[in-house]
Structure 1
Amino acid sequence: MKNNVVLSAKDLSVDFQVRGRQLKAIRHVSLDLKDQEVLAIVGESGSGKSVLTKAFTGMLETNGYISNGTVTYEDKVLSDLKKDKEWDGIRGKGIATIFQDPMTSLDPIKTIGSQIAEVVVKHQKKNAKEAKKIAIDLMERTGIPNAKNRYNEYPFEYSGGMRQRIVIAVALACHPKILICDEPTTALDVTIQAQILELIKDLQKEYHFTTIFITHDLGVVASIADRIAVMYSGQIIELGTCDEIFYDPRHPYTWSLLSSLPQLATEEAGLYSIPGTPPSLYKDIEGDAFAPRNKFAMEIDYKKEPPMFRVSDTHWAKTWLLDPRAPKVEKPALIQNLHDHFVKMMETETTMDFEKGGDAIVIK
């Protein structure tokens, strides 16, 4: 993975006017996106994941606006752009987005092939004949069987998984440098989820784009992410490599997210759930936003917002527990040996797969 930055957000805040009140959806976020990496943004619903990336593409709702900070892509300051016309050449070709529900991304009265081809004509400047050939090729590359024969079919003739593959093909037709995947597997069953994740991973290697993967489920990104940004109440509260977030998490909220992984549920204890609810974003938050839900919270957590503490060159966490004066607190026992648990789980799956006569799973 290359280290040069392709997109940078500095002290970014996004507000919304809602029924005469101001909602602070993103609060002073700074983030550098590196060339050809897979960055996963995780957190509960309402934490600001989608809003953050909409600020990168100028797709905020009409009542939303950037109230502070900047977003820079290549040599362009995206946060200065106001009109749709100014986004030409950036949306799609520079930064493309795959949304959660493929049916809302496809025109139900246009054929599948024509929807891909028109994007090729617009962004690659090809004629109709060339665009059709490229569209069929993209359909094949995204796993559509008999692509040539299915070119003139309509979205309703495709399953949910196949429609999502077409949405990916449409995005790739733009030749984007950054691909934002906004919970693209949530509406799909587990088997299809795995196929779509593997497809995105393979296509990234082939086309060399950078990926932002948005999800509320840490387990979904374990196999594909290079880095993970954990969001809570409009802020990034922990950022690190995939291994650092899974095996050396430092923020109590990250501990809670990991503890709630379905794979860790037991018959005796059931599935862990995070107590309480996130704070209202209509009000100014004093101290650490997670403090009311954090059993390790100290007095300072209710009075002063913690800074981002450096854990390593690649790992940062926004918690007072990392202050040298804080008492030493161990992460919950449930996630103490997370690596060993995953290895054991994969060994079980491998054994079952062999019993079925399937292929072995390689455990790294």
Structure 2
Amino acid sequence: MTNKKVILSAKDISVAFQVRQRTLRAIRNVSVDLHEGETLALVGESGSGKSVFTKVFTGMLESNGSVATGEATYGDIKLTDFKTNADWEKIRGGEISTVFQDPMTSLNPIKTIGSQISETIIKHQKKSKEEAKAIAIDLMDRVGIPEADKRYDEYPFQYSGGMRQRIVIAIALASRPKILIADEPTTALDVTIQAQIISLLKELKKEYGFAMIFITHDLGVVASIADKVAVMYSGEIVEYGTVEEIFYDSRHPYTWALLSSLPQLATSEKLYSIQGTPPSLYSEIKGDAFAPRNPQPMAIDFEQEPPKFEVSETHWAKTWLLDERAPKLEKPDGIRDIHSKMVELYGKKD
């Protein structure tokens, strides 16, 4: 058990969207805590609710979406009580900042790179233009922009994809947030640049001391960066634990499927893929949402939603396989002994 203070918390959060006179339930009763200095990875396929869930903490849900039930808190502040944009301005950017997936949609194409960093510093750190420019250039240097003082007055189109992502990270850190939400920050980048961005985030986190929520659909990406992992499927967390517990002692069939799908772990030319598609979020889900795609489902999986079964003080999973009456199933062959392979691929986590 960690002794660090809980800095961000969600209790039974549900999020609904009104779409063409129908209700889409995107998040279903999610509860999770983020501790000071911790990196929590949210992992799952596209459409599992990862990004929507984190928007609850920054008031960035689309206009047709709302928190239907539950409570989100930042320290002693109840975020789900906020009603206006003025309320959110106290938190968004300054306390909780976000790095988005596509830097080209995050940056203003007709403003210089330096001005976009400086205006954030002026707003949140209350610095003069001269002070803000000096801090901005220092930030650009810290995130790995060569000759930062000369490139301060350039525009986004003059930067490569990897460099633009570094600038988006610099802007997110310019307000000195307590929490950084990194929403698929490496998806649009090639493998070499991905590794550089992951390494950069680890270094900056160590230097600045912020907590981080790292969103990804690729479990392999979080192997060396996360402290805790929440596996999301169909709008809910189905398994939660330390990064070691999720990789080496996972219990939910969906987590097994995600791990088996990692191309880095493939032992033959044929890659494993998860069959079928997630259920429609317009309909009420009966039983275990993953049951129709589970290669070895039980009858109860289609009839009754599983509760949280505790594996350890830091690890739980929502699967009937953990019920004492359930048959004992072995993990898929490809992930029964992945420890040495993961260490070989990603090294030991700092």
* Superposition TM-score, scaled by structure 1 size: 0.94
The correspondence of residues 235-246 of structure 1 with structure 2, limited to 5 A, is 235-246=236-247
Q: Which residue of 2 aligns with 1:314?
A: 314
Q: Which residue of 2 aligns with 1:263?
A: 264
Q: C-alpha separation between the residues in 1 aligned to 2:47 and 2:26?
A: 8
Q: Which residue of 2 aligns with 1:166?
A: 167
Q: C-alpha separation between the residues in 1 aligned to 2:70 and 2:18?
A: 18
- Conservation of the 8 A alpha-carbon contact between 1:144 and 1:162: yes
Distance 1:304 1:204, change over 3 A: same
Q: What secondary structure is seen at the aligned counterpart in 2 of 1:137?
A: helix
Q: C-alpha separation between the residues in 2 aligned to 1:266 and 1:298?
A: 29
- Conservation of the 8 A alpha-carbon contact between 1:13 and 1:28: yes
Q: Which residue of 2 aligns with 1:23?
A: 24
Q: Does 1:144 align with 2:145?
A: yes
Q: Which residue of 1 aligns with 2:341?
A: 341
Question: What is the identity percentage for the equivalent residue pairs of Structure 1 and Structure 2?
Answer: 68
Q: Does 1:133 align with 2:134?
A: yes
Q: Does 1:286 align with 2:286?
A: yes
Q: C-alpha separation between the residues in 1 aligned to 2:174 and 2:219?
A: 29
Q: Which residue of 2 aligns with 1:124?
A: 125
How far the C-alpha of 1:343 sits from its partner, in A, is: 4.1
How far the C-alpha of 1:23 sits from its partner, in A, is: 0.3
Provide the aligned length of Structure 1 versus Structure 2.
Answer: 349
Q: C-alpha separation between the residues in 1 aligned to 2:189 and 2:236?
A: 28
How far the C-alpha of 1:122 sits from its partner, in A, is: 0.3
Q: What secondary structure is seen at the aligned counterpart in 2 of 1:198?
A: helix
How far the C-alpha of 1:299 sits from its partner, in A, is: 1.2
How far the C-alpha of 1:80 sits from its partner, in A, is: 1.3
- Conservation of the 8 A alpha-carbon contact between 1:2 and 1:35: no
Q: 1:43-93 CA deviation, whole Å, 9 max, x = no partner?
A: 001000000001111000011000000000111111111211111120001
- Conservation of the 8 A alpha-carbon contact between 1:2 and 1:36: no
Letter in 2 for 1:118: E
- Conservation of the 8 A alpha-carbon contact between 2:44 and 2:233: yes
Q: C-alpha separation between the residues in 2 aligned to 1:97 and 1:66?
A: 20
Q: Which residue of 2 aligns with 1:327?
A: 327
Q: C-alpha separation between the residues in 2 aligned to 1:74 and 1:340?
A: 39
Q: 1:193-240 CA deviation, whole Å, 9 max, x = no partner?
A: 000000000000000000000000000110110011000000000000
Distance 1:75 1:26, change over 3 A: same
Q: Does 1:184 align with 2:185?
A: yes
Of the structure 1 ranges 296-305 and 255-264, higher mean CA displacement relative to structure 2 is found in 296-305
Letter in 2 for 1:191: T
What residue ranges of structure 1 are gaps of 5+ in the alignment? Answer: 347-360
Q: Does 1:301 align with 2:301?
A: yes
Q: Which residue of 2 aligns with 1:354?
A: none
Q: C-alpha separation between the residues in 2 aligned to 1:112 and 1:363?
A: 33
The correspondence of residues 74-153 of structure 1 with structure 2, limited to 5 A, is 74-153=75-154
Letter in 1 for 2:138: D
Q: C-alpha separation between the residues in 2 aligned to 1:224 and 1:344?
A: 15
Q: Does 1:40 align with 2:41?
A: yes
Q: C-alpha separation between the residues in 1 aligned to 2:343 and 2:157?
A: 41
Q: Does 1:65 align with 2:71?
A: no
Q: C-alpha separation between the residues in 2 aligned to 1:362 and 1:79?
A: 38
Letter in 2 for 1:150: R
Q: Which residue of 1 aligns with 2:217?
A: 216
- Conservation of the 8 A alpha-carbon contact between 2:267 and 2:334: no
* Superposition TM-score, scaled by structure 2 size: 0.97
Q: C-alpha separation between the residues in 2 aligned to 1:160 and 1:280?
A: 34
Q: C-alpha separation between the residues in 1 aligned to 2:345 and 2:221?
A: 15
Q: C-alpha separation between the residues in 2 aligned to 1:238 and 1:89?
A: 33
Q: What secondary structure is seen at the aligned counterpart in 2 of 1:57?
A: coil
How far the C-alpha of 1:345 sits from its partner, in A, is: 5.2
Distance 1:362 1:253, change over 3 A: closer
Letter in 2 for 1:11: D
Q: C-alpha separation between the residues in 2 aligned to 1:190 and 1:345?
A: 13
Distance 1:299 1:75, change over 3 A: same
Letter in 1 for 2:135: I
How far the C-alpha of 1:40 sits from its partner, in A, is: 0.5
Distance 1:6 1:204, change over 3 A: same
Q: C-alpha separation between the residues in 1 aligned to 2:349 and 2:213?
A: 25
Q: C-alpha separation between the residues in 1 aligned to 2:104 and 2:165?
A: 8
Q: 1:260-310 CA deviation, whole Å, 9 max, x = no partner?
A: 001122444x11000111000000001100011112211111111001110
How far the C-alpha of 1:156 sits from its partner, in A, is: 0.5
Letter in 2 for 1:7: L
Distance 1:125 1:15, change over 3 A: same
Q: C-alpha separation between the residues in 1 aligned to 2:344 and 2:114?
A: 44
Q: C-alpha separation between the residues in 2 aligned to 1:219 and 1:113?
A: 34
What residue ranges of structure 2 are gaps of 5+ in the alignment? Answer: none
